[in-house]
Amino acid sequence: MLKSRRLLVSLGVLMLAVGLGGCAPPGVRGVRAFEDLPAAEGEVASDAEFLFELSEKKYCSTDDAYRGMLYLIDGTDTSKDFEERTARMVMHGVADKSWKHNPTAVATKGKVAYMLVRALEIRGGVMYNITNGCPRYALRELIHNGMIKGGKENSKLSGAEYVGILGRAVDYREPRPWPKM
């Protein structure tokens, strides 16, 4: 009786581990140093220009989402193309290697939350941590702290929404003290 109970307990724990492990493949937490990849040559468009144009787009593409995230992490985006941008994102541990990485697909709030939580090294709550950082719980975490203003995991992200989110992400990373005017 005792043996079968132990077996059942082990089985339960195993299923739990499989379930959680399948939620998000293990990746590098936090952000690694940018120096690991060579910088691209050529002129780099300004982040102000990128953000201004993004704010006028109906939808934020995956390419835009990666670009915005790299500006946040590295302060610049010197990638020549989407493939290089993706490589940088994966190298940073911000994007997941198993994703489809379709540059023209609309970015979802879940994935953007997943990337932001890693980029900003936000600890997250209990559910976020026991699910190894599911986009669903990453999104809930960012909705809770006010960085993302509602929505669901698969909600499409507009360009203007992403610009607003990036603004709050910058504030999170570098809080603005009230200036003496």
Partner 1 sequence: MARLIISSGILMALLCAPVQGQGEPAAEAGQDKKPAATVATAKDVAGQGQTLTVSVKSVSGSAEVRESSDKSWRAVKVKDVYQEGAEIRTGYRAKVELTFADNSHVIINRISHFRVDKFRRSGNKVVTRSHLSYGALQAGVEKGPAFSDYKITTSLGTLGVNGTRDIWLDVDPGAGYGIICLTQEGGIDWNIGRGSDRFVDPGGCTDHKGRGQDQRKHICNNINLVPFGSTGTEEDLGSIYGNQGSNSFNPTGSGNNPMATNGTTNGTNGGTNGGTNGDTNGWKEQF
**79-98 positions binding partner 1, by CB under 8 A:** none
Cα–Cα distance, 178 to 152 (Å, whole number) = 33
Q: Which of residues 2-21 bind partner 1 (CB under 8 A)?
A: 5, 8-9, 11-16, 18-20
**Which range of residues in 31-39, 61-69, 81-89, 116-124 is near partner 1 by CB under 8 A?**
61-69
Cβ-contact 136, 114 below 8 angstroms: no
CB 101 within 8 A of CB 117: no
**139 scored as a contact of partner 1 (CB under 8 A):** no
Does 129 interact with partner 1 (rule: CB under 8 A)? no
Least distance between partner 1 and beta carbon 94 (Å): 16
Residue from 76, 26, 69, 73 nearest 47 by CA: 76
Of the ranges 30-38, 41-49, 79-87, 116-124, which one interacts with partner 1 (CB under 8 A)?
A: 41-49
Counting contacts by CB under 8 A, is residue 179 touching partner 1? Answer: yes
Select from 135, 140, 141, 142 the one that contacts partner 1 (CB under 8 A): 135
| Binding region for partner 1 (CB under 8 A) out of 31-39, 85-93, 117-125, 173-181 | 173-181
Selected binder of partner 1 within 29, 39, 125, 145 (CB under 8 A): 145
Report residue 174 as tokens. 């570098």
Of 19 and 30, which CB lies nearer to partner 1 in the complex structure?
A: 19
Nearest in space to 167 (alpha carbons), one of 43, 54, 33: 54
Lookup: tokens for 171? 């504030």
125 contributes a contact to partner 1 by CB under 8 A: no
Q: Using the 8-state DSSP alphabet, how is residue 150 labeled? A: S
Per rule CB under 8 A, count of chain residues that contact partner 1: 75
66 binds partner 1 (CB under 8 A): no
**Which residues make Cβ contacts (< 8 Å) with residue 138, sequence separation at least 6?**
110, 113, 114, 116, 117, 124, 128
Q: CA separation (Å) from 1 to 5, 6, 9, 10, 11? A: 6, 9, 12, 14, 15
Q: How far is the CB of 142 from partner 1 (least distance, A)?
A: 12
